[in-house]
Amino acid sequence: MSYEVKIREDWCKGCYLCQNLCPKDVFDKADEINEKGIVIVKAARENDCIGCMQCANHCPDLAISIIEEEEKDAS
């Protein structure tokens, strides 16, 4: 099971609750600032995500979506 971590860059305000709550350390601070001058987060290690939804449930700006991806067939 793999998950896609989508962050809406224009909604994020950079409170870093997701970065602190994530048990697998998926998030990092982004290298650049967004158009409002905020250092937002980025999903640096998306493959580590286990889909616990801690970040999505606690995001005060509703900016994070965790989307379950179907396992690709090996064939």
- SS3 per residue for 50-69: CCCCHHHHHCCCCCEEEEEE
Contact criterion met (CB below 8 Å) for 36 and 12: no
Closest CA to 7 of 50, 54, 62, 57: 62
Q: How far is the CB of 52 from other proteins (least distance, A)?
A: 10
Q: How far is the CB of 48 from other proteins (least distance, A)?
A: 20
Chain residues binding other proteins by CB under 8 A are: 10-17, 20-21, 38, 56-65, 67
Q: How far is the CB of 36 from other proteins (least distance, A)?
A: 8
Tokens 């379950």, residue located: 68
Which residue, 47 or 68, has its beta carbon nearer to other proteins?
Answer: 68
